[in-house]
Structure 1
Amino acid sequence: MAEGTSLVSVVIVDDHAMFRRGVRAELESAGRGRVSILAEAADVDEAVAAVSEHRPDVVLLDVHLPGGGGVEVMRRVTASGAVPETRYLALSVSDAAEDVIGTIRGGARGYVTKTITGPELVQAIGRVAEGDAVFSPRLAGFVLDAFSGSIDVAAVDEDLDRLTEREREVMRLIARGYAYKEVAKELFISIKTVETHMSSVLRKLQLSSRHELTRWASDRRLL
């Protein structure tokens, strides 16, 4: 698709309605004449249906979604064979190495964080539509490290597979230095539940303290 010759059609996939509205508003403002938003979706099932129906050029895809996550959306759409020409750009609050690498391995052409500006996002969408790979600078380093062998992706995946989704969230916040009370507030759970998850994380990873957890997470580029 030559730039400027036609609109890039987009489907926005995110489980937070307020965020979807914000992205739509940014794209309609910064991308006027360049981007056309065809539909929105809040979970895996809605996303698969929307992509199959509208056949967009680009899907703006959140990593963590009800029903299996962004990778599951790509897997199911690809398995259907319905829209092989659609490209995926991950747009996520997460900048963790395992999310970036896992999403790229799942088929995304790029990965940017939600701190991106409207004009930058329009540019990223256009580049992905053209077939380029687009990453925020720090995230590109994760991908390069994974391919160069600096990050043992298989080992990271194996370790994280032991943890539930909630345990991963607790692990990452604790490793970043959050207090139990702050984690509870961030995840809308009780302090007792945070303590239970933390005990489970340490046991599954065979670690003895939050200091060891922080070092473990840092070594694997998960912070």
Structure 2
Amino acid sequence: MDAPVKVLVVDDHAMFRTGVRAELGQTGVGRVEVVAEAEDVDTAVAAVAAARPDVVLLDVHLPGGGGVEVMRRTAHLPDAPRFLALSVSDAAEDVIGTIRGGARGYVTKTITGPELVDAIGRVAEGDAVFSPRLAGFVLDAFAGSVPVAAVDEDLDRLSEREREVMRLIARGYAYKEVAKELFISVKTVETHMSAVLRKLQLSSRHELTKWASDRRLL
């Protein structure tokens, strides 16, 4: 019997890492094994070197530089792992930037446990894996038929967490739904939302939705 795929889970939310570990432990018995966790770029780079995983489940937005920075800093290692992005974001600049950075796949956090186990196995074998809604978009983007939104000065003003909150609010999520999705409090969501509107010089959710839509961020 083949050995299970060794997995490193990288996400800055401890509760999410715990949930992924539990889910993989339940649905991936004999197929995958979580060998380590990391919460930011520095701990992820160290964990890759120490644990020697086959596949890294990598959040796109991380303290210390983001998922692309993890891939850049570990590319030189012998037997470097393959990377599978697991993110709440399906925005153009995140998906394309992460794939260009070296990831073999990109799936969103709406994925089920069995689907994630299957995705990890396929990436370990060298396949490219994408959530269904993203696959066609990625192909079109690399073919040049779909313009990828450029990161503009307005977007640069927002922190990574503010970007996550902005996208969910712009898509119509209620504050409670955003809090649940990002594992933060409703009060924290409100604080981030106020900062987003202030930095972008917008006055309402309606204006924010139009702003994000115009930049293909939804």
Q: Same fold (TM over 0.5)?
A: yes
Q: Post-superposition shift, 1:218?
A: 2.3
Q: 1:30 to 1:190 in 2, by over 3 A?
A: closer
How many residues align structurally? 212
**Partner Cα distance (2:187, 2:84) in 1:** 26
Partners of 2:11 and 2:40 within 8 A in 1: yes
Q: 1:220 to 1:83 in 2, by over 3 A?
A: farther
Matched, 1:30 2:27: yes
Q: Post-superposition shift, 1:53?
A: 1.2
**Partner Cα distance (1:129, 1:169) in 2:** 28
Indicate the residue corresponding to 1:110 in structure 2: 105
Name the aligned partner's letter for residue 2 of structure 2.
T
Indicate the residue corresponding to 2:64 in structure 1: 67
Q: 1:187 to 1:63 in 2, by over 3 A?
A: farther
- The within-5 A match list for 1:1-223 is 5-78=2-75, 81-153=76-148, 155-158=149-152, 162-165=156-159, 166-177=161-172, 186=186, 188=188, 190=190, 194-202=193-201, 211=206, 213-223=208-218
Overall identity of the aligned pairs, in %: 71
Unaligned runs of 5+ in 2: 180-184
**Partner Cα distance (2:176, 2:20) in 1:** 31
Q: 1:10 to 1:117 in 2, by over 3 A?
A: same
**Partner Cα distance (2:20, 2:171) in 1:** 28
**Partner Cα distance (2:15, 2:176) in 1:** 26
Give CA-to-partner distance per residue, 1:51-88, whole Å, 9 cap, x none.
Answer: 0112211001111112111111111111xx11444100
**More moved, 122-131 vs 138-147:** 138-147
Give CA-to-partner distance per residue, 1:149-176, whole Å, 9 cap, x none.
Answer: 24333x5234565332255345424432
Q: 1:137 to 1:73 in 2, by over 3 A?
A: same
Partners of 2:93 and 2:151 within 8 A in 1: yes
**Partner Cα distance (2:170, 2:206) in 1:** 8
Q: 1:124 to 1:169 in 2, by over 3 A?
A: closer
CA RMSD between the two structures: 2.8
Q: 1:169 to 1:54 in 2, by over 3 A?
A: closer
Name the aligned partner's letter for residue 17 of structure 1.
A
Task: Provide TM-score, normalisation by structure 1.
Answer: 0.81
Give CA-to-partner distance per residue, 1:23-75, whole Å, 9 cap, x none.
Answer: 11111111111112211111111110000112211001111112111111111
Instruction: Indicate the structure (1 or 2) with the bigger Cα radius of gyration.
Output: 1
